[in-house]
Amino acid sequence: MAVELTPAQARVIAELAEREGVVSLHQLSHDTEPAGSADVFATPHGTDRGYRVNADGQLVEIGKTLPGL
């Protein structure tokens, strides 16, 4: 499954990867939202804490989630 990013999301995810190292990205299906407006979820490898990044680039820690690879 492809992950679609807005420019704001790409900047925030790059900053998160710079700080945390490698991150796994996930995105829910675009069935209910137009492509490019969906939140992206990021989990740093080796951890079980995740982040949500909205289309405007707001980064929110979401707490415990599935572990990053």
| Order of strands, sheet of 23-26, starting from the edge strand that comes earlier in the sequence | 23-26, 40-44, 49-53, 59-64
| HSE, side-chain direction, 13 A CA sphere, residue 56 | 2
Stronger pLDDT, 23 or 69, i.e. the higher one: 23
4 in Cβ contact with 36 (< 8 Å): yes
Q: Which H helix or E strand runs over 26?
A: strand 23-26
Mean pLDDT of 40-50: 90
- Output the pLDDT for position 64: 79
Instruction: Give me the pLDDT at residue 19, please.
Output: 95
Question: For the chain, which residues make up each domain, given as ranges?
Answer: 7-64
First to last CA, the chain: 17
